[in-house]
Amino acid sequence: MVKIVFMENRNGKPKVHSTISKKGRGRLISLMAEKQIETIEQIKHLTFDGFQSSPELSQYQTLTFIREQE
Protein backbone atom coordinates (compact mmCIF):
# COMPACT_ATOMS: atom_id res chain seq x y z
CA MET A 1 0.00 0.00 0.00
CA VAL A 2 1.19 3.52 -0.79
CA LYS A 3 0.16 6.62 1.11
CA ILE A 4 -0.26 9.80 -0.94
CA VAL A 5 0.26 13.14 0.80
CA PHE A 6 -0.64 16.59 -0.56
CA MET A 7 1.29 19.64 0.65
CA GLU A 8 1.47 23.33 -0.10
CA ASN A 9 4.68 25.33 -0.04
CA ARG A 10 3.92 28.23 2.33
CA ASN A 11 6.72 30.73 2.81
CA GLY A 12 9.30 28.13 1.87
CA LYS A 13 7.94 25.48 4.23
CA PRO A 14 5.87 22.48 3.08
CA LYS A 15 2.61 22.24 5.04
CA VAL A 16 -0.27 19.77 4.96
CA HIS A 17 -3.70 21.42 4.75
CA SER A 18 -6.79 19.24 5.15
CA THR A 19 -8.98 21.00 2.54
CA ILE A 20 -6.20 21.01 -0.05
CA SER A 21 -5.52 17.33 0.68
CA LYS A 22 -9.16 16.37 0.25
CA LYS A 23 -9.43 18.19 -3.09
CA GLY A 24 -6.09 16.76 -4.23
CA ARG A 25 -7.14 13.18 -3.47
CA GLY A 26 -10.39 13.61 -5.37
CA ARG A 27 -8.68 15.13 -8.39
CA LEU A 28 -5.99 12.44 -8.38
CA ILE A 29 -8.55 9.63 -8.37
CA SER A 30 -10.43 11.28 -11.24
CA LEU A 31 -7.24 11.63 -13.29
CA MET A 32 -6.21 8.06 -12.59
CA ALA A 33 -9.54 6.79 -13.90
CA GLU A 34 -9.51 9.15 -16.88
CA LYS A 35 -5.95 8.28 -17.93
CA GLN A 36 -6.23 4.62 -16.89
CA ILE A 37 -3.26 4.89 -14.52
CA GLU A 38 -2.24 1.52 -13.10
CA THR A 39 1.24 1.91 -11.58
CA ILE A 40 2.93 4.07 -8.97
CA GLU A 41 5.44 5.22 -11.59
CA GLN A 42 2.58 6.55 -13.73
CA ILE A 43 1.16 8.42 -10.72
CA LYS A 44 4.54 10.07 -10.07
CA HIS A 45 4.44 11.67 -13.53
CA LEU A 46 1.03 13.32 -13.10
CA THR A 47 0.76 17.08 -12.66
CA PHE A 48 -2.59 18.67 -11.83
CA ASP A 49 -4.01 21.77 -10.13
CA GLY A 50 -0.46 23.02 -9.52
CA PHE A 51 0.58 19.75 -7.84
CA GLN A 52 3.57 17.71 -8.89
CA SER A 53 5.35 14.78 -7.33
CA SER A 54 8.18 15.70 -4.95
CA PRO A 55 10.90 13.04 -4.78
CA GLU A 56 12.62 15.06 -2.03
CA LEU A 57 9.58 14.88 0.28
CA SER A 58 8.51 11.36 -0.68
CA GLN A 59 9.64 8.36 1.32
CA TYR A 60 9.33 4.60 1.07
CA GLN A 61 5.62 3.86 0.51
CA THR A 62 4.72 7.57 0.81
CA LEU A 63 4.31 9.64 -2.35
CA THR A 64 4.17 13.39 -1.77
CA PHE A 65 2.68 15.95 -4.13
CA ILE A 66 3.36 19.64 -3.51
CA ARG A 67 2.28 22.95 -4.99
CA GLU A 68 3.06 26.60 -4.38
CA GLN A 69 0.74 28.56 -2.12
CA GLU A 70 -2.10 30.27 -3.98
pLDDT tens by residue, 18-57? 998 999 999 999 999 999 999 999 999 999 999 999 999 9
Element (H, E) at 15: strand 13-16
pLDDT tens by residue, 7-24? 999 988 999 989 989 999
Distance CA 7, CA 5 (A): 7
Distance CA 37, CA 27 (A): 13
Q: What is the pTM of this model?
A: 0.89
Distance CA 69, CA 29 (A): 22
Answer for the pair 4, 63: CB distance below 8 angstroms, yes or no.
yes
